[in-house]
Amino acid sequence: MTLTEADLAVITAAPIIANTDELTRPDWLALRRTGLGGSDAAAALGITSYSSSYKLWTEKTSTIPDDDESVLAMRRGQHAEEFILREAAAAEPHLHVDRAPYMLRHPDHPELLANVDGLAVHDHRRGRGIFEAKNVNSYAAKDWADGPPIYYEAQVFHYMAVLGLDWAVVAADTQQYDDLPTYFIERDDAFIEQLVAREVEWWERHVVDGHEPTADGSKPTTDLLKLIEARQGVTRQLDPDEQADVEAMYLQLAHDTAVAKDAEQAVDTAKNRVRQLMGEATELVDADGRTWATWRQAKDKQTVDHRAAVHDAALALGVTVDELLASHSTTKPGARTLRTAPGLTLIAKET
């Protein structure tokens, strides 16, 4: 069953922005940029490795184009959600879930949005609850070993905050078990209060006031920064305040680089001691038969002498090697490499 706008008015005080069934994907993405949704909560809090404050800022300020999904990916996600909903209903006979295809705003904080997978009723619970279907890939399945990870809990609590509901149920297909586990999450007012405060603060500082978040070392941030193209001949000069910050940063970088080098050498030493213990053995076991290490020979592999192959092909075609290579060559943009060695040298001279 699909809930109507009149149904929603009874369930929650959160105003409806739009019926998502009636939105095009570009329109839906444009609405998402007007606030923080549930899937943005963990990034705003800095508690997920799948996004970052910097990446979230670029998305909300249109600094980069939308990372749009293909039509096939969207349909795949919709089918997975429908499958999980059916399986959750079969596993929990007291649970019933209705579709709620609406985007809503927090009644007091319009920068907080919600677009839930569904709204649930349960025979042994009062009122409505949030329903979320999660299709978890094999790489993230380990995060669910003890139940929903904190970054998904933040999403659920965000929805509770926007809709004012007291419980939620998360059904997760981790592709690890024959059954599909469901997890009930109770409202935590203390957590929600902190979550809302930090999300509102994040929005005010980074979107309203326009302060770019400080870059962290996460992969999402790294990948985005690497997209910035160089402008040849452009030099960035530090102002006095930036100079002090950069010097402090390079002092820390020099320290961390030395620590990392020592740690790498310690790891290599430990591995070599294991190799020394094993000698010609392919497996290292203890008295209980437990395996501590393996060191096996990889299968032989064939290699191609590309230089000789190109020479023979050119000879057979009656062309020069340069002509043959030119006819099969394309130009790719050069990589942009960050080199911090000059700054480390300056710091070493000053300390």
| pLDDT of res. 46 | 94
Q: Which two tokens stand for residue 35?
A: 């606030």
| pLDDT of res. 11 | 95
Which residue has 């690890």 as its token pair? 176
Domains and CATH numbers, the chain: 5-208 (3.90.320.10), 240-280+338-350 (no CATH)
Instruction: Identify the burial level of 107 via C-beta atoms within 10 angstroms of its C-beta, where 0-12 means exposed, 13-18 middle and 19 or more buried.
Output: middle
| pLDDT of res. 238 | 95
| pLDDT of res. 129 | 96
| pLDDT of res. 74 | 65
CA atoms 29, 31, 35, 37: torsion sign: negative
From residue 340, alpha-carbon distances to 51, 123, 299, 325, 345 in Å are: 25, 62, 40, 36, 9
Residues of the chain with pLDDT under 70: 63-74, 177
Q: What is the pTM of this model?
A: 0.83
Check residue 121 and report its DSSP letter. Answer: E
